[in-house]
């Protein structure tokens, strides 16, 4: 017994000695974004690391080694806007407008965060941290917190590597095959797609350089007057953790400090509530699970379209579990609604045959991890891209929301439920996702500690990070060589013209 106590004590001492202190700032008012940062930090807290998590969402119950600093007021302000905003009723979904809207929204969230008294109280407390991690969602200026605390800092991206993130670590940023978040992959298979992707790329980069980063720089200077220019902050990012994996994202060239940890939030399934377990066990024809996520609520669907959906679902012999946030009268006997389901655990049940989803990345990863085919109904953001990836890999079908009807949904359900290829394909990709050298949490923990051990990763910093954008693409070299070539051609032209002129003159004299 004494030996067991000694060994256990030594083990706990070793864990504590290796523990680090992480300050993580996740100010986005969307709960799905919050869930990514919160889940990762909670898992690291379980391993003995001390976590301080800055977020608009208060903690539901205390967590060991986990302290929450609440950005009070942010969610309430967002809810006022969302009360007048129904994403399902938006007539225009222009990508170019969305880039502007996103910039204004994230700039506002960034300023509210940097101005918040709770954050400043934390910074004034003198608390020491080993690393600062912030969310990568168009407010890179939040990295000033790490710069001010004089510790290494990094980013956690809710999406995979893309033209939206690669420049931060000097990774290749090539629009001929790297899709924008708003362009359906693959890009390289169509000239029209490449043209559109290129125009969107140039537009977003110009908007970023001309407005977004100068705006963020002004906000940073407002609250931290001694801070360096925002470019000096963001281009010294030590690490980016991406919520992606090649099993569901297009392979993209990255740098050593760009680490993919997609699937980290999917843990072994927990026991389902008794009533739900009974429904799933007794569904002799299987179950169709339907959820549009946390932002796009099913209750926002107009009544006419809702009735079309119900007519399509009523034709099924399968039991349908629909995440619906309000009472829904006159339900078909095979449809059961609840305001919330334990989604990841539910998808792990072998009786679940199809997942009707909005195509959010967390839902996409969960369906893939559990090996469940999908029918995607994307509405905005990266949802269409996620569903396009799923369709390209044979994981299911996609019905853009404006095209959703009784007929389209019935046809998609019939196809996915009866064609075994969809399940075979998603099972194959699920095996690829799970076939990793180390668990994604282990990978994230290793790289966070690696950055801390080496006080940043200057030895991994690419030389391209010291170049301007035009130097990075060798535009100055190309222009120089073009100018030299034009000058040489002009000189040769003048010499030849002069020689020909003299020759012609001599002939005239001879005559």
pLDDT in tens, 47-78: 999 999 999 999 988 999 999 999 999 988 87
**CA–CA distance, 354 with 277 (Å, rounded to integer):** 17
Is residue 240 within 8 A of residue 150, CB to CB? The reply is no
Strands (DSSP E) contained in 153-210 are: 153-157
Supply the pTM of this predicted model: 0.86
**CA–CA distance, 31 with 324 (Å, rounded to integer):** 17
pLDDT score of 337 = 94
Neighbour-count burial of 440, counting CB atoms closer than 10 A to its CB (0-12 exposed, 13-18 middle, 19+ buried): buried
Number of C-beta neighbours around residue 16 at 10 A: 11
User: pLDDT by residue (tens digit) across 152-190?
Assistant: 999 999 888 888 888 888 888 888 888 777 677 777 778
Q: Which residues contact 109 (CB under 8 A, 6 or more apart)?
A: 27, 28, 29, 74, 139
Residue scoring higher pLDDT (161 or 8):
161
Closest among 38, 23, 31 to 264, alpha carbons compared = 38
Q: Which residues of 333-345 are buried (b: 16+ CB within 10 A; e: fewer)?
A: ebbbbeeebebbb
pLDDT score of 13 = 42
* 125 Cα distance to chain centroid: 32
Q: Work out the pLDDT band at 438, boundaries 50, 70, 90.
A: very high
User: pLDDT by residue (tens digit) across 362-402?
Assistant: 999 999 999 999 999 998 878 888 898 899 999 999 998 88
Mean pLDDT, the chain, integer: 88
Say if residue 125's pLDDT is above 80.
Answer: yes
Q: Which residues contact 311 (CB under 8 A, 6 or more apart)?
A: 406
Taking CB atoms within 8 Å and a gap of at least 24, the contacts of 229-237 are 230/140, 230/141, 230/144, 233/140, 233/141, 233/143, 233/144, 233/147, 234/140, 234/141, 234/143, 234/168, 235/168, 235/465, 236/147, 236/456, 236/461, 237/143, 237/153, 237/154, 237/155, 237/168, 237/169
User: pLDDT by residue (tens digit) across 322-368?
Assistant: 999 888 888 999 999 999 999 999 999 999 999 999 998 899 999 99
Is residue 318 within 8 A of residue 285, CB to CB? The reply is yes
Is residue 380 within 8 A of residue 87, CB to CB? The reply is yes
Neighbour-count burial of 238, counting CB atoms closer than 10 A to its CB (0-12 exposed, 13-18 middle, 19+ buried): buried
**CA–CA distance, 123 with 102 (Å, rounded to integer):** 28
Half-sphere exposure of 127 (CA within 13 A, CB side): 19
Neighbour-count burial of 46, counting CB atoms closer than 10 A to its CB (0-12 exposed, 13-18 middle, 19+ buried): middle
User: pLDDT by residue (tens digit) across 20-51?
Assistant: 999 999 999 888 899 999 999 999 999 999 99
**CA–CA distance, 331 with 313 (Å, rounded to integer):** 10
Closest among 479, 434, 417 to 245, alpha carbons compared = 434
The sign of the dihedral angle between the CA atoms of 310, 313, 315, 320 is negative
The sign of the dihedral angle between the CA atoms of 451, 453, 455, 459 is negative
**CA–CA distance, 335 with 309 (Å, rounded to integer):** 11
pLDDT score of 477 = 92
């Amino acid at each position: 017994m004494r030996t067991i106590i000694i060994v256990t004590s030594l083990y706990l001492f070793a864990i504590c000695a290796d523990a680090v202190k992480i300050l993580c700032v996740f100010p986005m008012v969307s709960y799905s974004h919050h869930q990514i940062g919160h889940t990762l930090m909670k898992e690291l807290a379980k391993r003995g690391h001390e976590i301080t998590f800055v977020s608009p969402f208060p903690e539901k119950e205390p967590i060991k080694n986990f302290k929450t600093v609440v950005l009070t007021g942010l969610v309430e302000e967002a809810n006022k806007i969302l009360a007048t905003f129904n994403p399902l009723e938006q007539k225009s979904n222009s990508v170019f407008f969305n880039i502007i809207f996103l910039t204004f929204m994230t700039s506002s969230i960034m300023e509210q965060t940097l101005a918040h008294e709770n954050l400043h109280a934390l910074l004034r407390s003198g608390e020491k941290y080993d690393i600062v991690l912030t969310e990568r969602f168009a407010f890179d200026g939040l990295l000033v917190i790490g710069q001010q605390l004089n510790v290494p800092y990094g980013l956690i991206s809710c999406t995979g590597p893309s033209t939206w993130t690669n420049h931060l670590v000097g990774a290749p940023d090539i629009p001929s095959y790297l899709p924008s978040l708003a362009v359906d992959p693959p890009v390289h298979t169509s000239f029209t797609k490449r043209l559109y992707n290129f125009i969107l790329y140039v537009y977003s980069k110009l908007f970023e350089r001309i407005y977004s980063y100068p705006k963020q720089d002004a906000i940073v200077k407002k609250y931290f007057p001694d801070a360096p220019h925002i470019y000096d902050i963001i281009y010294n990012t030590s690490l980016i953790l991406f919520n992606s994996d090649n099993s569901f994202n297009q392979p993209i060239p990255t740098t050593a400090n760009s680490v993919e940890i997609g699937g980290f939030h999917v843990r072994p399934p927990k026991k389902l509530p008794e009533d739900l377990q009974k429904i799933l066990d007794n569904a002799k024809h299987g179950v169709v699970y339907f959820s549009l996520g946390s932002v796009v609520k099913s209750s926002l669907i107009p009544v006419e379209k809702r009735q079309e959906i119900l007519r399509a679902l009523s034709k099924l012999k399968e039991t349908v579990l629909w995440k619906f946030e309000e009472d829904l009268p006159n339900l078909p006997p095979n449809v059961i609604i609840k305001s919330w389901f334990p989604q990841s655990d539910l998808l792990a049940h072998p009786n679940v045959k199809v997942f009707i989803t909005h195509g959010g990345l967390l839902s996409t990863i969960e369906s893939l991890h559990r090996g469940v085919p999908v029918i995607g109904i994307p509405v905005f953001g990266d949802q269409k891209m996620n569903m396009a990836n799923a369709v390209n890999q044979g994981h299911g079908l996609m019905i853009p929301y404006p095209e959703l009807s009784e007929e389209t949904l019935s046809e998609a359900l019939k196809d996915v439920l009866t064609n075994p290829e969809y399940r075979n394909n998603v099972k194959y990709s699920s095996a690829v996702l799970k076939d990793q050298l180390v668990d994604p949490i282990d990978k994230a923990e290793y790289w966070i500690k690696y950055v801390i051990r080496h006080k940043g990763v200057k030895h991994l910093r690419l030389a391209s990070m010291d170049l301007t954008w035009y130097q990075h693409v060798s535009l100055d070299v190309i222009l120089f060589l073009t100018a030299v070539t034009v000058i040489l051609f002009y000189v040769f032209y003048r010499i030849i013209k002069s020689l020909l002129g003299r020759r012609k003159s001599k002939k005239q004299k001879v005559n």
